[in-house]
Amino acid sequence: MTDVGVTVGDLGLPGGQPAPAGSGPERRRWHRHPPTAPRPALAAAGRMAARIGGPALAVTYLSLLVLLPLAALVTNAFSGGWAAFWRAITQPEAVAALELTLGISAAVAAVNSVAGLAIAWVLVRDDFRGKTLVSAVIDLPFALPTIVAGLTLLALYGPNSPFHVDLAGTRLGIACALAFVTLPFCVRSVQPVLAELDAETEEAAASLGASRRQVMGRVILPSLLPAVLAGAGLAFARAVGEYGSIVLISGNIPFKTEVASSWIFSLSQSDALPAASAVSVVLVAIALLVLIVIGWARRRFNVPETV
Amino acid sequence: MQTTTPHLSAPGDAPSRTRLPSRRIAAVGALALSALALTALPAGAQTGGTVNLVAYSTPKPAYSVLATDFAKTKTGAGVTVSPSFGPSGTQATSVVNGLPADLVNFSLEPDMAKVVKAGLVSSSWDKGSTKGMVTDSIVSFVVRPGNPKHITTWADLVKSGVQVITPNVFSSGSAKWNIMAAYGAEIEQGKTPAQAQLYLSKLLHNAVAQPSSASAALQTFLSGQGDVLLDYEDDALYAKSKGEPVDIITPPQTILIQNPIAVTKTASPAAKAFLAYLLSPAGQTVWGQQGYRPVLPSVAAKFKFPRPKTLFTIDHLGGWTSVNTKFFDPQTGIVAKVEQSLGVSTASG
């Protein structure tokens, strides 16, 4: 089943394909005809502008918000030359911080993918009292300022924990904090896809003699795999850059619990901005690579609709 | 067909109805003139003004008391203090990058040097009678009530099983004071620089957390982690005054923390008046009541701050300029090398 997709033609933008006659409710036109007769040249120019305008607007916005800052980051990283860049990224603290961050983020993304799938399953397929509340609560980590999340986690899992677990200063503590902030991604990316799944396919498989486990493994999970991977990718990307929620519970010990974002912050505070940019570039590059691989995997495992 | 959207007029259209009637022009003009008249009123230096204060994080509670008291004085009547608090290094960087500031108060001199280098503060900021400093303090040990682990000297900090909390030196000014206090204490006790460096290695080995700032470190300590926190004496006194369960131990040897203050080149007269107040006996008395050691000897004599046996300054250790590079450069500094050797030997899974 493909993601729910909207093609440009459906939007009814001038210059796109007009809706085929009789294809449903009247599509609303986006531009209004002026009361006087349109000048042909002006109208044609207007259509061309709209055809370029849409993508141009998107690219401009993307550039201003994402690409320009990234370009500035890369420029800053290499402002001391290749030698300075190499020294900054091979410094033992940087290597240790990057290894720690990438390792823990990958593990958390993997664990939360499974947990997110299970939670989405329960929310979609089961009915119980308080389901709406549970569903709303899942999005809470999005709304909570990360430093508040960090304080809460320290109070819950730190030395004064009411459960008598002390995760402060440990990597498990970091993992718990990251799991908390990335869970909504894993749940919300799977939930709509699961809800849209056609029950007929499962029923057909069951009527042909497939066991529950076979239905699960051969019919349902493959359909959900792209969504699960999407959630994992988002969770990984968020975990890699997380700072506020882990900075208190981690203890920030170099080589043990200092994550990349913390080391980058320390560098930036010590007037070593090019070095901070250098480590950031490496982090962003690796995160980008992982996201590209996940995107490829999603397309590769996309189950086309055959029914 | 009538449209409600304005459209470009073409030749032959009826005259546009968008021209302002003359009555409206007169009204707008009158408003503009009165606005001009208001701004032309002389801005009395005695009747107000704003002070954009940029300071490190610790003196926030002190400044709210100081600003209120200043407003009661003649020169301070009607003055608004608009403060910004944050980690000392971050604040200095923000000011260099354009944060509006009339009065800057940092934790340590290198942060002031950053702002002087950017041309925002005069290079003669430290030529006054107090050498540019507004308050003093010392590095103290903060322990649990009753001091259960009997931590009283620097040697106690490196005993096995003692858990120390000190902020990360690359992001916190307080951490730098702590490290130099530890290093200097060893030197004052007759150790060689190499032995003092070995001490730093043992101290950082016992550090169970290195939070990013002094306030984060206090939070971490109060959350139950660690046996001893290295902190400014004034920060510890404030926590104690708020009823936090801490005891403050004055080490026998410690460093004199000196906090620099200066007005920027574009400071308002109100800011200069505020600085004068902060350095006056009245202002220094308020500082003292807030737990800061006054820089005016006459006022300092009125308070009974603990006197460590040996009190040294950063100048004993070479001054901040050389110390900052020698110890705290993130790639070549002594602390970075100590961390690396600790990390390589203790980095386990």
| pLDDT tens string B67-88 | 999 999 998 899 999 999 988 8
Task: Kindly list the residues from chain A whose CB atom is less than 8 angstroms away from the CB atom of residue B171.
Answer: 265-266, 269-270
ipTM over 0.90: no
pLDDT higher than threshold 90 for residue A260: yes
CB distance A167 to A249 below 8 Å = yes
Instruction: Tell me if B225 and A168 make a contact (CB, 8 A cut-off).
Output: yes
The reported pLDDT for the residue numbered B1 is: 45
HEC secondary structure over B266-309:
CCCHHHHHHHHHHCCHHHHHHHHHCCCEECCHHHHCCCCCCCCC
| Predicted TM-score (pTM) of this structure | 0.77
pLDDT for A82-97, tens place per residue? Answer: 999 999 999 999 999 9
Task: Quote the CA–CA distance of A219 and A222 in Å, as a whole number.
Answer: 6
pLDDT higher than threshold 90 for residue A263: yes
**% pLDDT > 70, chain B:** 85
Cα B309 off chain centre by: 27
Mean of pLDDT values over A226-231: 94
The alpha carbon torsion through A144, A150, A152, A154 (nearest 10 deg) reads: 170
Mean of pLDDT values over B294-309: 94
Q: Does domain B48-135+258-300 have CATH number 3.40.190.10?
A: yes
DSSP structural state of residue B170: T
- A118 pLDDT tier (thresholds 50, 70, 90): very high
Size of interface A-B (CB pairs under 8 A): 112
- Name the residue ranges covered by the structural domains of chain A: 8-74, 81-300
- B173 pLDDT tier (thresholds 50, 70, 90): confident
CATH class of the domain at A81-300: mainly alpha
CB distance A294 to A110 below 8 Å = no
CB distance B157 to B164 below 8 Å = yes
Task: Quote the CA–CA distance of A217 and A205 in Å, as a whole number.
Answer: 11
Instruction: Tell me if A248 and B339 make a contact (CB, 8 A cut-off).
Output: no
pLDDT higher than threshold 70 for residue B223: yes
**Nearest CA to A303 among A220, A232, A210?**
A220
Angle between the B88-96 and A260-269 helix axes, to the nearest 10 degrees? Answer: 60
The reported pLDDT for the residue numbered B290 is: 94
Do the domains B48-135+258-300 and B137-256+307-346 sit in the same CATH topology, yes or no? yes
Task: Kindly list the residues from chain B whose CB atom is less than 8 angstroms away from the CB atom of residue A91.
Answer: 331
The reported pLDDT for the residue numbered B45 is: 45
Q: Find, in chain B, the residue whose alpha carbon is nearest to that of A37.
A: B1
Q: Which of B2, B172, B223 sits opposite A158 (nearest CB)?
A: B223
Task: Quote the CA–CA distance of B275 and B269 in Å, as a whole number.
Answer: 10
pLDDT higher than threshold 50 for residue A7: no
pLDDT for A29-56, tens place per residue? Answer: 555 655 666 677 788 877 877 777 788 8
SS3 B209: strand
Superfamily of domain B137-256+307-346: Periplasmic binding protein-like II (3.40.190.10)
The reported pLDDT for the residue numbered B212 is: 84
Which stretch of A7-16, B103-112, B121-130 has the lowest confidence by average pLDDT? A7-16
Instruction: Tell me if B328 and A270 make a contact (CB, 8 A cut-off).
Output: yes
> Between these two residues, A214 and B51, which has the higher pLDDT value?
B51
Angle between the B193-205 and B173-188 helix axes, to the nearest 10 degrees? Answer: 130
- Name the residue ranges covered by the structural domains of chain B: 48-135+258-300, 137-256+307-346
- B4 pLDDT tier (thresholds 50, 70, 90): very low
The reported pLDDT for the residue numbered A45 is: 77
Q: Which class for A128: exposed (0-12), middle (13-18), buried (19 or more C-beta within 10 A)?
A: exposed
- The pair of three-digit structure tokens given for residue A73, joined into one six-digit string: 């980051």
**% pLDDT > 90, chain B:** 72
pLDDT higher than threshold 80 for residue B32: no
pLDDT for A134-177, tens place per residue? Answer: 989 999 888 889 989 888 898 899 888 898 888 888 999 999 99
Average pLDDT over chain B, rounded to whole? 87
**Residue B38 to chain A, least CA–CA distance (Å):** 40
> Which one-letter amino acid corresponds to residue B140?
S
Residue B226 sits at φ, ψ, to 5 deg, of 80, 160
